[in-house]
Structure 1
Amino acid sequence: MDFKAEHGTPILATGDGVVAKVDVDRNNGQYIDIEHASGFTTRYAHVSSFAVKAGEQVKRGQTIANVGNTGRSTSAHLHYEIRYQGIPINPLQALMPLDNKQVVSSVVTPQGKVTTYEYRVNN
Protein backbone atom coordinates (compact mmCIF):
# COMPACT_ATOMS: atom_id res chain seq x y z
CA MET A 1 0.00 0.00 0.00
CA ASP A 2 1.36 3.43 -0.91
CA PHE A 3 0.92 6.55 1.22
CA LYS A 4 1.77 9.86 -0.44
CA ALA A 5 3.75 12.14 1.87
CA GLU A 6 6.22 14.98 1.74
CA HIS A 7 9.89 14.04 1.38
CA GLY A 8 11.43 13.75 4.86
CA THR A 9 8.16 13.08 6.73
CA PRO A 10 8.89 10.84 9.75
CA ILE A 11 7.78 7.20 9.41
CA LEU A 12 6.55 5.58 12.63
CA ALA A 13 6.61 1.87 13.49
CA THR A 14 3.09 0.45 13.49
CA GLY A 15 3.88 -2.04 16.25
CA ASP A 16 6.51 -3.19 18.72
CA GLY A 17 9.16 -5.46 17.22
CA VAL A 18 12.74 -6.05 16.16
CA VAL A 19 14.31 -4.50 13.06
CA ALA A 20 15.06 -7.57 10.93
CA LYS A 21 16.55 -5.78 7.93
CA VAL A 22 17.75 -2.32 6.88
CA ASP A 23 18.67 -2.62 3.23
CA VAL A 24 18.39 -1.30 -0.31
CA ASP A 25 17.34 -2.94 -3.56
CA ARG A 26 16.41 -1.85 -7.06
CA ASN A 27 12.62 -1.93 -6.57
CA ASN A 28 12.09 -0.95 -2.93
CA GLY A 29 14.99 1.46 -2.76
CA GLN A 30 16.00 1.88 0.87
CA TYR A 31 13.70 -0.17 3.13
CA ILE A 32 13.20 -1.53 6.64
CA ASP A 33 11.62 -4.83 7.70
CA ILE A 34 10.35 -5.20 11.28
CA GLU A 35 9.42 -8.56 12.82
CA HIS A 36 6.49 -8.36 15.24
CA ALA A 37 4.81 -10.85 17.58
CA SER A 38 2.90 -13.87 16.29
CA GLY A 39 4.49 -14.11 12.82
CA PHE A 40 3.79 -10.58 11.52
CA THR A 41 6.35 -8.57 9.53
CA THR A 42 6.03 -5.01 8.24
CA ARG A 43 8.01 -3.37 5.45
CA TYR A 44 8.57 0.37 4.98
CA ALA A 45 10.03 1.11 1.53
CA HIS A 46 11.36 4.03 -0.57
CA VAL A 47 12.69 5.77 2.57
CA SER A 48 15.18 8.63 2.34
CA SER A 49 17.01 7.95 5.60
CA PHE A 50 17.06 5.42 8.44
CA ALA A 51 16.63 6.13 12.17
CA VAL A 52 17.18 2.50 13.29
CA LYS A 53 19.62 -0.36 12.71
CA ALA A 54 19.14 -4.10 12.15
CA GLY A 55 18.69 -5.92 15.46
CA GLU A 56 17.28 -2.88 17.26
CA GLN A 57 14.10 -3.19 19.34
CA VAL A 58 11.43 -0.66 18.33
CA LYS A 59 8.20 0.49 19.92
CA ARG A 60 4.94 1.37 18.21
CA GLY A 61 5.01 5.06 17.32
CA GLN A 62 8.82 5.28 17.28
CA THR A 63 10.36 7.11 14.32
CA ILE A 64 12.19 4.50 12.22
CA ALA A 65 12.87 6.38 8.95
CA ASN A 66 11.87 9.30 6.75
CA VAL A 67 9.76 9.29 3.59
CA GLY A 68 11.74 9.35 0.38
CA ASN A 69 11.76 8.60 -3.33
CA THR A 70 14.29 5.76 -3.64
CA GLY A 71 14.15 2.68 -5.86
CA ARG A 72 11.37 2.29 -8.42
CA SER A 73 9.40 5.34 -7.40
CA THR A 74 8.14 8.43 -9.21
CA SER A 75 7.49 10.65 -6.18
CA ALA A 76 7.97 10.78 -2.42
CA HIS A 77 5.79 8.23 -0.64
CA LEU A 78 5.83 5.35 1.83
CA HIS A 79 5.27 1.85 0.49
CA TYR A 80 3.90 -0.17 3.45
CA GLU A 81 3.41 -3.95 3.57
CA ILE A 82 2.19 -6.38 6.21
CA ARG A 83 2.97 -10.09 5.98
CA TYR A 84 1.70 -12.87 8.19
CA GLN A 85 4.01 -15.89 8.23
CA GLY A 86 5.50 -14.61 4.96
CA ILE A 87 2.15 -14.17 3.19
CA PRO A 88 1.13 -10.62 2.17
CA ILE A 89 -2.11 -9.40 3.73
CA ASN A 90 -4.20 -6.30 3.08
CA PRO A 91 -3.10 -3.59 5.56
CA LEU A 92 -6.65 -2.20 5.55
CA GLN A 93 -7.92 -5.46 7.04
CA ALA A 94 -4.99 -6.37 9.28
CA LEU A 95 -5.25 -7.11 12.98
CA MET A 96 -1.66 -7.07 14.20
CA PRO A 97 -0.78 -7.96 17.81
CA LEU A 98 1.06 -5.25 19.72
CA ASP A 99 1.98 -7.75 22.43
CA ASN A 100 0.44 -10.90 23.93
CA LYS A 101 -2.61 -9.03 25.25
CA GLN A 102 -3.22 -6.22 22.79
CA VAL A 103 -4.20 -6.12 19.12
CA VAL A 104 -4.28 -3.08 16.85
CA SER A 105 -6.25 -2.53 13.67
CA SER A 106 -5.83 0.54 11.49
CA VAL A 107 -8.32 1.57 8.84
CA VAL A 108 -7.51 4.08 6.11
CA THR A 109 -10.41 5.84 4.40
CA PRO A 110 -10.29 6.71 0.68
CA GLN A 111 -9.67 10.31 1.80
CA GLY A 112 -6.51 9.17 3.61
CA LYS A 113 -7.80 9.46 7.20
CA VAL A 114 -6.30 6.80 9.48
CA THR A 115 -8.34 5.45 12.38
CA THR A 116 -6.63 3.02 14.76
CA TYR A 117 -8.54 0.66 17.03
CA GLU A 118 -6.93 -1.14 19.94
CA TYR A 119 -8.38 -4.25 21.58
CA ARG A 120 -7.35 -5.72 24.91
CA VAL A 121 -7.52 -9.47 25.47
CA ASN A 122 -8.52 -10.38 29.03
CA ASN A 123 -6.83 -13.53 30.36
Structure 2
Amino acid sequence: MRNARNRNDRVALGMARVCEHQAEIRAQLAHSGSTQAIDDLLAAVRAGRDVGNLLDALHMALQTGGDALGVYGHTRGTGAQLAGISGGRPSEEIYLCPGRRCTRYCWPDATVAGSPTCEIDGAPMLKSKV
Protein backbone atom coordinates (compact mmCIF):
# COMPACT_ATOMS: atom_id res chain seq x y z
CA MET A 1 0.00 0.00 0.00
CA ARG A 2 2.79 2.41 0.89
CA ASN A 3 4.62 1.72 -2.40
CA ALA A 4 1.44 2.47 -4.35
CA ARG A 5 1.00 5.75 -2.49
CA ASN A 6 4.65 6.67 -3.09
CA ARG A 7 4.23 5.84 -6.78
CA ASN A 8 1.06 7.94 -6.99
CA ASP A 9 2.81 10.85 -5.28
CA ARG A 10 5.76 10.56 -7.65
CA VAL A 11 3.47 10.47 -10.68
CA ALA A 12 1.50 13.48 -9.40
CA LEU A 13 4.71 15.48 -8.90
CA GLY A 14 5.99 14.44 -12.32
CA MET A 15 2.71 15.40 -13.98
CA ALA A 16 2.86 18.80 -12.31
CA ARG A 17 6.28 19.26 -13.88
CA VAL A 18 4.95 18.27 -17.31
CA CYS A 19 1.87 20.45 -16.92
CA GLU A 20 3.87 23.52 -16.02
CA HIS A 21 6.79 23.01 -18.45
CA GLN A 22 5.40 21.07 -21.39
CA ALA A 23 6.63 23.58 -23.98
CA GLU A 24 10.21 23.33 -22.68
CA ILE A 25 9.98 19.53 -22.48
CA ARG A 26 8.63 19.34 -26.03
CA ALA A 27 11.47 21.57 -27.29
CA GLN A 28 14.05 19.38 -25.53
CA LEU A 29 12.59 16.25 -27.07
CA ALA A 30 12.34 17.84 -30.53
CA HIS A 31 16.01 18.77 -30.28
CA SER A 32 16.74 15.11 -29.47
CA GLY A 33 14.76 13.93 -32.49
CA SER A 34 11.31 12.80 -31.30
CA THR A 35 8.42 14.21 -29.31
CA GLN A 36 6.62 10.85 -29.22
CA ALA A 37 7.07 10.40 -25.44
CA ILE A 38 5.26 13.62 -24.54
CA ASP A 39 2.68 13.15 -27.30
CA ASP A 40 1.79 9.70 -25.94
CA LEU A 41 1.63 10.97 -22.36
CA LEU A 42 -0.62 13.93 -23.18
CA ALA A 43 -2.92 11.72 -25.26
CA ALA A 44 -3.27 9.34 -22.30
CA VAL A 45 -4.06 12.22 -19.94
CA ARG A 46 -6.73 13.57 -22.29
CA ALA A 47 -8.23 10.08 -22.65
CA GLY A 48 -8.25 9.54 -18.89
CA ARG A 49 -5.88 6.56 -19.04
CA ASP A 50 -3.20 5.64 -16.51
CA VAL A 51 -0.05 7.66 -17.14
CA GLY A 52 2.53 6.10 -14.81
CA ASN A 53 4.41 4.05 -17.40
CA LEU A 54 4.20 6.80 -20.01
CA LEU A 55 5.58 9.32 -17.53
CA ASP A 56 8.45 6.91 -16.84
CA ALA A 57 9.04 6.69 -20.61
CA LEU A 58 9.11 10.49 -20.87
CA HIS A 59 11.55 10.64 -17.97
CA MET A 60 13.85 8.17 -19.76
CA ALA A 61 13.52 10.01 -23.08
CA LEU A 62 14.58 13.27 -21.42
CA GLN A 63 17.53 11.59 -19.73
CA THR A 64 18.56 9.92 -22.98
CA GLY A 65 18.42 13.36 -24.63
CA GLY A 66 20.84 14.79 -22.08
CA ASP A 67 18.60 16.05 -19.25
CA ALA A 68 20.12 14.22 -16.29
CA LEU A 69 17.19 15.16 -14.03
CA GLY A 70 14.46 14.07 -16.43
CA VAL A 71 10.94 14.64 -15.12
CA TYR A 72 11.36 13.34 -11.59
CA GLY A 73 14.67 15.00 -10.74
CA HIS A 74 13.09 18.41 -11.09
CA THR A 75 10.49 17.58 -8.43
CA ARG A 76 12.85 16.87 -5.56
CA GLY A 77 14.37 19.55 -3.33
CA THR A 78 16.70 20.89 -6.00
CA GLY A 79 16.32 24.46 -4.85
CA ALA A 80 14.12 25.28 -7.83
CA GLN A 81 10.48 26.24 -7.48
CA LEU A 82 8.21 23.23 -7.76
CA ALA A 83 5.98 23.08 -10.81
CA GLY A 84 2.54 24.52 -10.27
CA ILE A 85 3.42 26.74 -7.35
CA SER A 86 2.66 30.28 -8.27
CA GLY A 87 3.53 33.46 -6.47
CA GLY A 88 1.03 35.54 -4.61
CA ARG A 89 -0.24 35.24 -1.13
CA PRO A 90 -2.44 32.43 0.15
CA SER A 91 -6.15 32.98 0.53
CA GLU A 92 -8.97 30.74 1.62
CA GLU A 93 -9.48 29.51 -1.92
CA ILE A 94 -7.09 27.62 -4.13
CA TYR A 95 -7.31 26.10 -7.61
CA LEU A 96 -6.34 22.43 -8.04
CA CYS A 97 -5.72 20.10 -10.97
CA PRO A 98 -9.14 19.31 -12.49
CA GLY A 99 -8.31 15.63 -12.97
CA ARG A 100 -6.42 15.28 -9.68
CA ARG A 101 -3.57 13.90 -11.83
CA CYS A 102 -0.91 16.27 -10.62
CA THR A 103 0.05 18.46 -7.69
CA ARG A 104 -0.24 21.72 -9.59
CA TYR A 105 -2.17 24.45 -7.83
CA CYS A 106 -2.44 28.21 -7.88
CA TRP A 107 -3.94 30.95 -5.79
CA PRO A 108 -6.73 33.15 -7.14
CA ASP A 109 -5.42 36.22 -8.96
CA ALA A 110 -7.67 39.27 -9.00
CA THR A 111 -5.83 40.64 -12.04
CA VAL A 112 -6.81 37.67 -14.23
CA ALA A 113 -10.38 37.17 -15.47
CA GLY A 114 -11.86 33.72 -14.94
CA SER A 115 -10.36 30.66 -13.34
CA PRO A 116 -7.06 29.13 -14.43
CA THR A 117 -7.11 26.12 -16.72
CA CYS A 118 -5.17 22.87 -17.00
CA GLU A 119 -2.14 23.32 -19.21
CA ILE A 120 -2.69 19.86 -20.71
CA ASP A 121 -6.38 19.56 -21.53
CA GLY A 122 -7.67 23.10 -20.97
CA ALA A 123 -10.24 22.07 -18.36
CA PRO A 124 -10.96 24.69 -15.69
CA MET A 125 -9.02 24.06 -12.51
CA LEU A 126 -11.10 23.11 -9.48
CA LYS A 127 -11.73 25.74 -6.83
CA SER A 128 -11.22 24.41 -3.33
CA LYS A 129 -10.98 25.75 0.21
CA VAL A 130 -7.76 25.55 2.23
User: Do both proteins adopt the same fold according to a TM-score greater than 0.5, normalized to the shorter chain?
Assistant: no
TM-score under structure 1 length normalisation: 0.26
TM-score under structure 2 length normalisation: 0.25
Q: Which has the higher helix share?
A: 2
Q: Which has the higher strand share?
A: 1
Higher Cα radius of gyration:
2
